[in-house]
Amino acid sequence: MKLAAKNQGKDMDILVVDDEALQREMLVDYLAGDGHYAVGAENGETALEKVKSGAFDLMLIDYKMPGKNGIEVLVEAKALNPEIDAVIITAYGTVETAVSAMKSGAVDYISKPVNLEALSMLISRVSERRTLIRENELLRRELEKSRFPAGGIIYKSKKMEELLNLAGRVAPSSATVLIQGETGTGKELFARLIHQASERSNAPFVAVNCGAIPEGLIESELFGHEKGAFTGAHQRRIGHFEQADGGTLFLDEIGELPPDVQVKLLRFLQERQFQRVGGERVVDADVRIISATHQDLESKRRDKTFREDLYYRINVIVLEIPPLRQRKEDIPLLVDHFISGFAGRYRSRVKSVSREAMDLLMKYDFPGNVREMENIIERGVVIARGDVITSSELPFGANKTDNKDKGPGAEEGTLQEAVEVLEKQMIDGALSETSGNQSRAAVKLGLSERMLRYKLKKYGIKYGREK
Rounded CA gap, 137 and 135, in Å?
5
By CB neighbour count within 10 A (0-12 exposed, 13-18 middle, 19+ buried), where does 8 fall?
exposed
Could you tell me which residues come within 8 angstroms of residue 321 by beta carbon, excluding any fewer than 6 positions away?
163, 179, 180, 181, 182, 185, 186, 187, 190
pLDDT of residue 416: 62
User: Domain 326-466's class?
Assistant: mainly alpha
Domains 13-143 and 326-466 share a fold: no
pLDDT tens digits, one per residue of 396-446: 764 443 434 444 443 344 556 667 777 788 887 788 777 788 888 888 887
Peptide bond into 113 cis (omega under 30): yes
Rounded CA gap, 384 and 392, in Å?
9
Q: Which of 164, 135, 159 is nearest to 148 (CA)?
A: 164
pTM metric for this prediction: 0.56
Rounded CA gap, 442 and 431, in Å?
9
pLDDT of residue 200: 94
The CATH H-level superfamily of 158-322 is P-loop containing nucleotide triphosphate hydrolases (3.40.50.300)
Task: Delimit the domains of the chain by residue range.
Answer: 13-143, 158-322, 326-466
Tell me which amino acid residue 136 is. N
Q: Which of 399, 334, 344 is nearest to 373 (CA)?
A: 334
Rg (the chain; Cα; Å)? 34
Sheet strand arrangement including 177-180: 205-209, 248-252, 288-293, 177-180, 317-320
CB-facing half-sphere around the CA of 299: CA atoms within 13 A? 4
The segments of the chain whose pLDDT lies below 50 read 1-9, 143-147, 398-413, 464-467
> Largest Cα–Cα distance of the chain, in whole Å?
102
User: Domain 13-143's class?
Assistant: alpha beta
Pairing of β 13-17 and β 37-41: parallel
Rounded CA gap, 377 and 348, in Å?
12
